[in-house]
Amino acid sequence: MPNLLNEILFLFQRLNWSSVVDLFLVTAIFYMVLVAVRNTNAMVLMRGVIFIILLLTLLTSLVNLPAFSWLIKTILPVLLLAIPVLFAPELRRALERVGRANISNLFMRQEKLNVQQLKQTIQAIVTASVRLSARQHGALIILQRVDSLEEYERTGVKMNAKVTPELLLQVFYPNTPLHDGAAIISHNQLSAAACVMPLSSSGILNRSPERQMGLRHRAALGISEASDAIALVVSEETGSISIAHSGRMIRRLDSERLENILLAFFSSEKTTEQGNLISRFFQVVKNKGKLEE
């Protein structure tokens, strides 16, 4: 025991500012990697890789196996090169998050939305969502914020129409040409309908005990992971209303809570103020047990 304490004391004596910064950077990199693969299928793959590395390390260090040790040392560089291939989706998502950081927004002028038009648009969306929920008509509505959704608009049908409850009800009426896909709302207009959204690779839906979360919910989570947009989903099976943002989903919303959430996302004048307001709102919802990861 005294020897162990002496060794720990010796390590602390050798610490300096550069060592602290070095340890902090290594810890930050590992933390960002774990955050990037959290709630994804890559987490299971990473566990398998770590288990194999630990097992091989124990075998080569505890048992004298010259041929096996040579083989491991030979193929290890190849395995390191294969890691970017195995974790390509997660690495791409992490780089997209970095690219969507607010640093780029410092050089862009943030347009102020007309408050009255904004409230009318949100009320129209809420009214349509409640009617769709009562009729159990499935719907996926994407509300653009800062990130452009033009590439997804090109996959659908251009509308450029005023947002009204009647129009949204008609778009998502079953068996109509535009009902199968997402409607994108940008700058208080219905920009496009029947748009194709990226599906989420997150494991959140797989861990859900309920079975009503299908492709619409996966698409809502997918677009919320790929952009800062707000995705509103109406379940075709249960009529439940949900909202997805930043890879998280709030479910079982009524009209009042839905309107308050949308106003919290869009009523702020500055992007930074929006981010702080949204973070506080999600924290309140989480404390109430309504946020499902």
| Domain map (residue ranges) of the chain | 2-101, 115-292
Alpha helices in the chain, H assignment, sequence order: 2-14, 17-37, 42-62, 66-86, 88-99, 115-135, 150-153, 165-171, 215-226, 255-266, 271-287
Residue 142 parent element (H or E): strand 139-143
Do residues 127 and 139 touch, judged by C-beta distance below 8 A? no
The domain defined by 115-292 folds into YojJ-like (1 (3.40.1700)
Q: Is the pTM of this model over 0.75?
A: no
Q: How distant is the alpha carbon of residue 93 from its chain centre?
A: 9
Digits of tens for pLDDT over the chain (293 positions)? 566 677 767 666 777 788 788 888 888 888 877 776 665 556 666 777 777 778 877 777 777 778 877 877 787 777 777 777 766 666 666 666 666 554 444 334 444 456 788 889 999 999 999 999 999 999 999 999 888 888 899 999 999 999 999 999 999 999 888 988 999 999 889 999 999 998 886 666 655 554 446 888 989 998 988 888 999 999 998 899 999 998 888 888 999 999 999 988 887 544 444 444 445 455 545 544 444 44
Residue 161 parent element (H or E): strand 157-162
